Amino acid sequence: MDIESSARSAMWNASRADSDRRPFSRATLSRIAAFARPHRATLTWFLVLSVATAVLAVASPVLAGRVVDAIIAEAEPAVVIGLAALIALIAVGEAAFGLTQRWLSSRIGEGLILDLRTAVYDHVQKMPIAFFTRTRTGALVSRLNNDVIGAQRAFSNTLSSVVGNLVTLLLTLVVMLGISWQVTLVTLLIMPVFVLPARLMGARLARLSREAADHNATMGTQMTERFSAPGATLIKLFGRPEQESAEFGARASRVRDIGVRIALVQQVFITALTLVSALALAVVYGMGGVIAADGGLDAGAVVALALLLTRLYAPLTALASARVEVMSALVSFERVFEVLDLEPLVAEKPVTVPLPPGGVSVEFDSVRFAYPSADKVSLASLEEVAILDTRGGVEVLHDVSFRVAPGQMVALVGSSGAGKSTIAQLVPRLYDVDEGVVRLSSIDVRDLSAEAIRRAVGLVTQDGHLFHESIRANLLLAAPDAGEDDIWDALRRARLTDLVRELPDGLDTVVGERGYRLSGGERQRLTIARVLLARPQVVILDEATAHLDSTSEAAVQAALAEALVGRTSLVIAHRLSTVRQADLILVIEDGRIVERGTHDELLDAGGRYAELYTTQFARTAAS
C-alpha cells in the first residue's frame, strides 16, 4: 500500500474514531473467538502469508540498491541479471501471495458473514410477536447487513493489515538502521506529521459524517414509508407531494454539501501528506547523498533508503488508525451480540409430546396473561429511542376458561380491546401464558413442538399478509410439498379459480407488496386458500371479514364455510350475524368471559350480547 492509499484509509477510519467508546469485556472477545474458531486453519495460513508478504515487501528495495551498486562497480552482467531476476521473482511471489491472501480473506470474511447472518436470522425468527411490533424493520435489517459486514472486516481487513504493517514496519526499521542510523533518525523525526493530522482532522470529519448519516437515515425512512402502497396513497390523498419533495430535496442538498466538504478536507489532508512524503524523500536523497559523497554510504544504499521510506511511512499511517478499525469492528460485534442476547420468550422444549391422531380440541384453563414490557423483548437501539418503555406487565386476560370440542365452532364477541385477539394468539403459541394452561387435545401447547402446532392450527387475520411474490409462492408457504392439483383445489374452495385463470401469468402472477395488486376480498380469500392448502385441524378466524364490503364479505364467507367444514374453529367476529350458528358464543369484556351460550340463549338472557346485537342490528337497519 502506498502513502496516499494509507492516508485515505487513515482519514476514513479517523472520521469514525469517536463514534463509540464503550468498554469491551473478555466475554465479548471470547464470543468473537468462538465465531472465528471454525475458520482457524484458514486464518492461520492467512496470517502466515501476511508475514511472508511483508518480508518480500522489504526485500525488494534492498535488492534494488544492490543492483545500483553492481552497476556502479561495473560488475559482471550475470550479477545484475541475477539480481534483477530475483527482484522479478519476488514481485511474482508478492503477486501470488496477494492473490492467495485475497482468496483466504474472502473465505474468512464471507464465511463469517454467513455464520453471523444465519445466527441472527435464526434467532430473530424465534422472537415473540411483541418484538416485531416494537422494532423498526430498517434497524433490524441493518444488523444483518451493515453490522455483520463491519464485524467481518475485523478478520478480512483489520487483522491482516495490523499484522502485515507491524512486520513491515519492524523489518524496515531494522534494515534502515543497518544501512544508516543517521538518515533513519531524521525520517523518524518527521513521523508525527503522518500520524497527528489524521487524529486532529478526524473529529471534524466525524461530525460531518454523522450529520450526513442522520440525513441519509431520515431520507431512507421517508422513502421506505412513502414508497409503500399505503404511504403513497396517503400522500396523494392529502395532496402533499410538493412538500414531501421539498423536505427530501433539502436533506439531499445538505448531504451533497457535506459530501463536498468532506471530499475537500480529505484531499487537503492527503495532499499535505503527499507533500511531506516528497520532502522526506528529498531529505533522504540530500542527506544520504552527502554521506555517500563523503564515502560513508554506497549509492545503492541511498536508493534503498529512499525506496524503504515508503515501506516505513505507509505502515505507520495505517497502524495509527488500527485502533479505530479494531474498535469499529468490536462495536459491530457488540451490536450483533445485542440481538443474539435477547432471550426468546417462547422456547421449544428439548423433548416434545406428539399430538394424538384424530380431531383436535382447544382448551383454556384458568388462563392469565399480560403482554411483556419492552425491556424483555426489544432493544432501545432497534426501536431507535434513547430509553426503552418500561411499561407493560398489565394483565389483559383474567382467569379465562373454556373448551372447544373437536369439530365444534366457538365464537368470541365483545368490545374492541376486550382480549379476543389475545386469546387467538395464545392458541398457536405466539405468546406463552403467565398462569394457567392452553391445551390442544388435552396437551399443554408448551409440551408440543412448533411444527406440531403449525400443522394443527391455522390462523386467518383481518389483514391477511401476502409477500411480494407469486400467488403460487404465497400458497406454498403453507404446504411446500403441495402439488398443482392441491393448489387449484384450494383456490376452487376459496372461490378464486376464475380470478387466477384470468390473470396474465396465472399462479405465477406476482401479487405486489402486501398483496396490494389484489382487492381486499381477493387478498383475504387467498389467505383462506393458504389455510385450506395447509389442512389444519383447528382454524382460528380473527375478524376475517371486518373491513370488507358486502359483496366481498359474501365471497369470503363462502370461502370460510369451506375452511371450517369438519374442523375445530374459534371465530372472532365483529359482525354478530356471522356467528349466529356457532355452537357456543363467548362474550369477552375486559379480559373476562362475562357470558356464554348459544345465540338464542344469549338473546333471551338480555345481557351484554343482547345489547351488542340490538345496537348492531339497529345501526344496520338505520343504514
Q: What is the pLDDT of residues 193-229, one digit of tens each?
A: 656 665 666 566 667 766 776 677 677 767 777 776 6
Output Rg (C-alpha) for the chain, integer angstroms.
35
Per DSSP, the residues of 562-591 read HHHTTSEEEEE-SSGGGGTT-SEEEEEETT
Q: How confident is the model at residue 591 (pLDDT cuts 50, 70, 90)?
A: very high
pTM, two decimal places: 0.68
- Other CB atoms within 10 Å distance of the CB of residue 619: 9
Least confident of 356-360, 391-395, 499-503: 391-395
Q: Which CATH architecture has domain 362-465+537-622?
A: 3-Layer(aba) Sandwich (3.40)
C-alpha cell at 273: 501528506
Q: How confident is the model at residue 400 (pLDDT cuts 50, 70, 90)?
A: very high
Q: How confident is the model at residue 589 (pLDDT cuts 50, 70, 90)?
A: very high
Q: What does the domain layout of the chain look like in residue ranges? A: 3-340, 362-465+537-622
- The pLDDT of 243-270, averaged and rounded, is 80
**pLDDT of 616:** 72
- The pLDDT of 261-266, averaged and rounded, is 78
- Whether the pLDDT of residue 489 is over 90: the answer is no
pLDDT tens figures, 23-43? 456 777 788 888 888 888 888
**pLDDT of 295:** 80
- The pLDDT of 594-616, averaged and rounded, is 88
- The pLDDT of 125-133, averaged and rounded, is 80
- Whether the pLDDT of residue 519 is over 90: the answer is no
The DSSP element (H or E) to which 414 belongs, if any, is strand 409-414
- Whether the pLDDT of residue 366 is over 90: the answer is yes
**pLDDT of 180:** 85
The CA distance from 356 to 194, in Å, is: 74
- The pLDDT of 83-93, averaged and rounded, is 89
**pLDDT of 144:** 75
Check residue 338 and report its DSSP letter.
Answer: H
**pLDDT of 92:** 92
CA 540 from centroid of its chain's CA atoms: 32
**pLDDT of 368:** 94
Least confident of 260-264, 602-606, 607-611: 260-264
- Whether the pLDDT of residue 617 is over 70: the answer is no
**pLDDT of 18:** 46
Q: How confident is the model at residue 188 (pLDDT cuts 50, 70, 90)?
A: confident
- Whether the pLDDT of residue 548 is over 90: the answer is no
pLDDT tens figures, 46-57? 888 888 888 888
3-state SS, residue 437: strand
Phi first, then psi, for residue 368 (nearest 5°) are -125, 140
The CA distance from 275 to 273, in Å, is: 5
The per-residue pLDDT of the chain, averaged, comes to 79
**pLDDT of 285:** 83
**pLDDT of 19:** 46
Least confident of 89-103, 206-220, 273-287, 301-315: 206-220
In the chain, what percentage of residues exceed pLDDT 70?
A: 80
In the chain, what percentage of residues exceed pLDDT 90?
A: 12
3-state SS, residue 76: coil
The CA distance from 509 to 171, in Å, is: 64
- The pLDDT of 584-594, averaged and rounded, is 92
Q: How confident is the model at residue 622 (pLDDT cuts 50, 70, 90)?
A: very low
User: Considering only the top CATH level, what class is 3-340?
Assistant: mainly alpha
- Report CA-CA distances (Å) from 253 to 210, 211, 226, 240, 257: 16, 12, 19, 20, 6
Winning range, highest mean pLDDT, from 254-263, 303-312, 333-342, 365-374: 365-374
- The pLDDT of 581-588, averaged and rounded, is 90
The CA distance from 1 to 246, in Å, is: 44
